[in-house]
């Protein structure tokens, strides 16, 4: 991390909190919609966008050395703290995020050849909330004070929340501690 990045860490907190809040709102909005709703695809894409931003913040930094900010800049030994989540959640794997990239950023023939049309909303929510809680629990002062507004939502159970893209409605339930 550069001195310049270190200087911006306190200011970047509001941007991290924004991404967390937007991801939570957008997943919830998407879960409430039926495939016939006009906003179904936009809800899917906005949720995927914020999921991608948070996944990169938690797991893939640095991309643009000197500019991008990631969780490891706030928490020492962050990579070791994410090993369990990386192993547990398939939505954190590179192949899943590549599908997200194709959906959001490319008009590619891979959209047609990709036979998996499901989006694992429940797992995306559970994995992200797990990373958020681990991050919040791992922050040391003064950085823990910077993130005082960050709420940890520990998920007890998610059942059947897999969205088949735009083909049919799904049912879901999830519980928070």
Which has the higher per-residue pLDDT, 128 or 60? 128
The pLDDT value recorded for residue 176 is 63
pLDDT band, residue 163 (cuts 50/70/90): low
CA 29 → CA 65, 73, 119, 140, distances in Å?
34, 31, 15, 33
User: Does pLDDT of 143 surpass 50?
Assistant: yes
User: Does pLDDT of 9 surpass 60?
Assistant: yes
| Prediction pTM value | 0.84
Residues of the chain with pLDDT > 70, as a percent, come to 82
Structure tokens at 35: 């495939």
Cα gap 104→50, rounded to integer Å: 11
User: Does pLDDT of 157 surpass 70?
Assistant: no
User: Does pLDDT of 146 surpass 60?
Assistant: yes
Cα gap 37→31, rounded to integer Å: 12
Greatest alpha-carbon pair distance for the chain in Å reads 50
The pLDDT value recorded for residue 6 is 76
The set of residues, in sequence order, having a beta carbon less than 8 Å from that of 134 and lying 6+ positions away, is 81, 82, 85
User: Does pLDDT of 168 surpass 60?
Assistant: no
The pLDDT value recorded for residue 169 is 39
User: Does pLDDT of 22 surpass 90?
Assistant: yes
pLDDT digits (tens, 9 = 90+) for 36-79: 888 988 999 999 999 999 999 999 876 676 678 999 999 999 99
The pLDDT value recorded for residue 131 is 96
The pLDDT value recorded for residue 36 is 82
Nearest to 153 by CA among 170, 167, 139, 136: 136
């Amino acid at each position: 991390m550069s001195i310049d990045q270190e200087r911006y860490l306190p200011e970047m907190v509001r941007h991290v909190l924004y991404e967390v809040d937007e991801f939570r709102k957008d997943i919830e909005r998407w879960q409430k919609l039926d495939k016939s709703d006009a906003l179904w695809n936009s809800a899917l894409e906005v949720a995927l966008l914020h999921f991608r931003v948070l996944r990169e913040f938690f797991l893939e930094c640095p991309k643009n050395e000197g500019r991008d900010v990631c969780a490891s800049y706030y928490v020492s030994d962050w990579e070791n703290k994410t090993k369990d989540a990386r192993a547990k959640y398939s939505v954190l794997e590179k192949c899943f995020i590549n599908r997200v990239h194709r959906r959001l950023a490319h008009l590619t023939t891979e959209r047609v050849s990709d036979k998996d049309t499901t989006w694992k909303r429940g797992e995306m929510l559970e994995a992200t909330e797990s990373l958020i809680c681990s991050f919040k629990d791992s922050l040391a002062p003064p950085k823990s004070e910077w993130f005082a507004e960050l709420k940890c939502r520990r998920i007890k159970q998610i059942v059947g929340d897999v969205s088949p893209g735009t083909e049919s409605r799904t049912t879901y339930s999830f519980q928070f501690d």
